[in-house]
Amino acid sequence: MHKIESQDEFAQWARYVNHADTACSPHKLCDLQDEFAWSDGKALKRLFIESDQTEKELLVFSIQKAMGSGTLLEFIKSYSVYRAQVVTEQEQDDINSKWTEVLQKERDITDKLDKFKLTLAVLESQNKALVTDNDNMTAEVSRYYQHNMELQDTIKDMQETVDKLSAFESHIKELLTV
């Protein structure tokens, strides 16, 4: 018994099923049904899935005519599952691609955040050093200011002493001139 094993053989089988002589001869139709039945079902479904749109339409009518709607339904179901898998794989690839982009953006953001935290830590450290320097300078300025005030008080006291000495010198000169 001949088996359908290639795309060309499957298309030729479909053409024979739809040929006018086959419709008139139940014996020829039985031979074509036997040929289909003896062929590997999985291989036939694969060939059906791989066929182009024109061949697929011919195969649909031929399988319906020779083998009935139950068999046709199995082939259409196999094709539907195949198409669903193809679409699912494409969607999964898109999702994976987008997920990869999201993960890369997350890594970029994390890297930028780490750099920002490092910069912030450096700036905080520098700020602490500047605050410490500022506090030290403020304390030093305060000491200079206090020392300046003390010097001004000393100058004032010395000026008073000089004034007293000048007054005393004037008074002595007056006493000596009399």
Give the pLDDT confidence score for residue 22 in this predicted structure.
65
The pLDDT value given to residue 112: 96
Residue 24 confidence (pLDDT):
63
What is the C-alpha separation between 127 and 106, in angstroms, rounded? 30
Residue 142: exposure state from Cβ atoms within 10 A (0-12, 13-18, ≥19): exposed
Whole-model pTM: value is 0.59
CA 82 to chain centre: 30
Domain ranges across the chain: 7-67
Q: Which residue has the tokens 């899935």?
A: 49
The whole-angstrom separation of Cα 5 and Cα 34 is: 14
Mean pLDDT by 10-residue block, N- to C-terminus, for the chain (178 residues)? Answer: 90 88 77 92 95 94 94 96 96 96 96 96 93 94 94 94 92 83
pLDDT score, position 27: 84
Q: d(Cα 9, Cα 38) in Å, to the nearest integer?
A: 14
d(CA 106, CA 93): 20
The string of pLDDT tens digits covering residues 98-126 is: 999 999 999 999 999 999 999 999 999 99
> How much is the pLDDT for 135?
93
